[in-house]
Structure 1
Amino acid sequence: MRFGEYLYAKAVTLCFLGIGTLFLDIFLAFAEVPFAFLFVLNAAAGVLVVLWLVADFLIENSRLQKLERVMNELPEKYLLGEVIPKPVQPVEYRYYEIMKTVSQAAIEVAEQATREKEDYCDYVECWIHEMRTPLTACSLILDRAKGVVECKEDLDKAEEVSQKLKQELKRAENLTESILYYARIRRAGNETQIRQVRAAELIREALWSQMELLTAAGICAEVDGDFDMYTDGRTVCFILKQLLINCAKYCPGCQICICAGNGKITVEDNGIGIPSHELRRVTQRGYTGSNGKRLGGSTGMGLYIVKELCSRMDIGLEIASEEGSYTRVVLNFEGEEESGA
């Protein structure tokens, strides 16, 4: 608060003090009080008023600065009414009660919103876990169906249908897993389980889980390197799956090179690449880009979820690409966040 703002707030009080002093001077002048005495009296009164203004300004400014520090340290600003000191003056105490009432109402609304959000996340997770059961059952039924086919021609047709159905089931499973992680990043809590894992194991697990899609897309993968790290293995594996799914979707027939070393996992393909003007937007929620619009079937959520998970786990994410040449995604587990290039 500036001193000018403080004086503006005290304008009414100062006006009444000035008017009172003027009437007092007129009264004393009619009473034939010496001019020298009036001058000394007014000067003393002026000095006292100035000292009072300065002292009161310093006190009020100190209180405001303390209140601002408390507010800035609060993670949720609506909690300010619960932590501000209780005033002594009656008028300020009334303002304090009003602010506390508003703060309590805001807390109730926030808690209700949090409960509704948690209920939504619980429902989504429950639905996904239930959805996985019939997907797994369908896959098992297809495997058993191949054993009851008698002639070779029927067997070949059944095998072809089985592979196509498995691909679709894998896509459905990937979508449900994406919804699961999207629900988790909306939660207020942290559900990561940090443990020591090997990068090569996570890469192999991700490749194996997406083998049907990669094979159908004619993609071959090359893996090199390894290192130990402390992280949530399930989440990192999911991130790698999303990158492989993007390769299968946008770069059929390409070659993928996955390198692990120096605390980084690099996934690079020699596919269609990303236009330079779209590169910084590919991690935005719902952004599909020209490739997604051209090929269709894109939700624009994959890289957004990857970015949010990396941010939560302090994993640096760097995406580099050249249209018609390559796309490279680097996961940096050294805790240094990198920007897209």
Structure 2
Amino acid sequence: MIKPFFKENAGWYATYLGVVFLFFLNFWLYHLPLVYFANALALNLVVLVVISLWRYFLFRKKMLALAHFVYDSELEDFTSPSDLAYRTAIAKLRHAANRKELDATSQKHNLESLIKMWAHQMKVPLSAISLMAQTNQLTPEETKRQVLRLENYLDTLLNYVKFNQHQDDFRFEKVSARKVVAEVVKKYRTACLAKNLSVTITGDTTFKTDRKWLSFALSQIFDNAVKYSHNNAQIRITITETQVTVSDDGIGILEEDLPRLFDEGFTGFNGHEHQKATGLGLYMTKQVLDKLDFSIKVTSRIAKGTDVTISSKQRP
């Protein structure tokens, strides 16, 4: 530990030697008796050794404390301005590390809860397929519908994990809103036929955005419209220069649920009542649209239907 001590204090010892040399030079140039210089130097060396031993003791104590300290209180003996600054920096680093660890633990807990919830949700279509197979009521159309539900649940889960790990996975290009909407509607064709829903698409525009993630967001919105629409109803998709609106005449959303629709894990009254919601679709939709520079607005009335509008924040 002696070598690190001299390395840290090398500047001071170099300064001391420089001052000694200047004093010697003055004595020599002015032909002063060097015996006085020697006496003064001896006294200074004694003082230097004593101070060095004291500083080495403090240095060693500090190094040992830093090498083995666990709690910040163990550094309270070091009160110089630089030591206080170091202690403050250490406290900030510890706070940041604790917060990061807490976030990681929370994220892990949320992911575990999500997987458990998803496992429960995926049992529903699997149980339906199993029951139909056991009762010889398994039809191609119903099988496709249940498989589509499974695919949607799995896609949402995988996209959720991917989005949380790689939030910069975006490739912006000019995209036709009508083409993206048409692809989404085609994807849900079986579900629409099962409920005899008619879908109309009006208008078109071009957005500079990420096609894949915009399709994901619109899929979540359209999926909700299909879920909560009555049989033989209509879903209207209206595209303007800066907006895409998905309207249905379904069961609607309670007014008190509207402010919390985009909270993670929130299912609301409809989700509990109809056991169709996972509480993640609209949360992810909001997160994705924020990254794509879109806003989302939901208006609804019970038994009257719901309008979901996404608006580009970019200037047309």
Residue 229 of structure 1 corresponds to: 207
Which residue in 2 is equivalent to 1:301?
280
In structure 2, the residue matched to 1:318 is: 297
What secondary structure, in the 3-state scheme, does the structure 2 residue paired with 1:274 have? coil
Aligned counterparts of 1:301 and 1:118: Cα–Cα separation in 2: 14
Alignment check: 8 A CA contact 2:252 2:305 kept:
yes
Q: Which amino acid aligns with 1:93?
A: S
Amino acid corresponding to residue 240 of structure 2 in structure 1: G
Seq. identity, %: 22
Distance 2:296 2:85 in 1: 46
- Are residue 244 (structure 1) and residue 233 (structure 2) matched? no
Residue of structure 1 equivalent to 2:52:
none
- In structure 1, C-alpha distance between the alignment counterparts of 2:96 and 2:172, rounded to whole Å: 32
SS at the partner of 1:332?
A: strand
Match of 2:245 in 1: 266
* 1:160-171 matched pairs, under 5 angstroms: 161-171=139-149
Q: 1:93 aligns with which of 70, 76, 82?
A: 82
The offset of 1:191, in angstroms, is 1.0
2:173–2:211 Cα contact (<8 Å) kept? yes
TM-score (norm. length: structure 2): 0.60
* Partner secondary structure for residue 300 of structure 2: strand
For residue 331 of structure 1, what is the aligned residue in structure 2?
A: 310
- Distance in 2 (CA, whole Å) between partners of 1:190 and 1:118 is 19
Question: Which residue of structure 2 lines up, in the alignment, with residue 195 of structure 1?
Answer: 173
Residue in 2 that maps onto 1:141: none
**1:270/1:327 contact within 8 Å kept:** yes
Equivalent of 1:287, from 258, 266, 272? Answer: 266
How big is the shift at 1:108?
5.2
> 1:213 touches 1:245 (CA, 8 Å); kept in 2?
no
Q: Report the secondary structure of 1:222's partner residue.
A: strand
Pick closer, same or farther for the CA change 1:199–1:214 going to 2, 3 Å: same
User: TM-score, length-normalised on structure 1?
Assistant: 0.56
Distance 1:316 1:328 in 2: 14
8 Å Cα contact 2:297-2:309 kept in structure 1: yes
In the alignment, the residues of structure 2 paired with residue 210 and residue 203 of structure 1 have an alpha-carbon distance, to the nearest angstrom, of 11
Shift of 1:267: 0.5
**Count of residue pairs the alignment pairs up:** 218
Higher RCO (CA-CA < 8 Å; seq separation 6+): 2
Q: Which residue is 1:209 aligned to?
A: 187
- CA deviation digits over 1:95-118, x for unaligned, max 9? 111122334445555677788999
1:173 — aligned with what? Answer: 151
Q: How has the CA–CA distance of structure 1 residues 325 and 112 changed in structure 2, closer, same or farther, with 3 Å as cutoff? A: closer
Tell me the alpha carbon deviations over residues 122-181 of structure 1, each in whole angstroms, 9 at most, x when there is no partner.
xxxxx9xxxxxxxxxxxxxxxxxxxxxxxxxxxxx79x5222222111111111111122
C-alpha separation in 1, matches of 2:169 and 2:103:
17
1: distance between equivalents of 2:98 and 2:260? Answer: 33
The answer on whether the counterparts of 1:197 and 1:230 sit within 8 Å (CA) in structure 2 is: yes
Q: Does structure 2 retain, via aligned residues, the 8 Å contact 1:315–1:333? A: yes
CA deviation map 1:13-37 (0-9, x unaligned): xxxxxxxxxxxxxxxxxxxxxxxxx
- In the alignment, residue 162 of structure 2 is paired with which amino acid? R
Q: Distance in 1 between matches of 2:263 and 2:302?
A: 19
Residues 120 and 276 (structure 1), Cα distance of their counterparts in 2 relative to 1, 3 Å cut? closer
Q: Which amino acid aligns with 1:297?
A: K
**Residues 248-302 of structure 1: per-residue CA shift (max 9 Å, x gap):** 2111322100011121111101112112222222222222222222211321221
Distance in 2, Cα, partners of 1:210 & 1:270? 17
The amino acid across from 1:302 in the alignment is: G
Which of 134, 153, 164 in structure 2 is aligned with 1:186? 164
Equivalent pair of 2:251/2:304 in contact (CA under 8 Å): yes
In structure 2, the gaps of 5 or more residues are: 1-78, 116-135
Aligned position for 1:277:
256
Equivalent-residue separation in structure 2 for 1:328 and 1:315 (angstroms): 16
- Cα separation, 1, equivalents of 2:153 and 2:223: 10
> Are the structure 2 counterparts of residues 104 and 284 from structure 1 closer, same or farther at C-alpha, using a change threshold of 3 Å?
closer
1:274 counterpart letter in structure 2:
I
Gaps of 5+ in 1: 1-89, 122-126, 128-156, 337-341
The aligned amino acid for 1:207 is: V
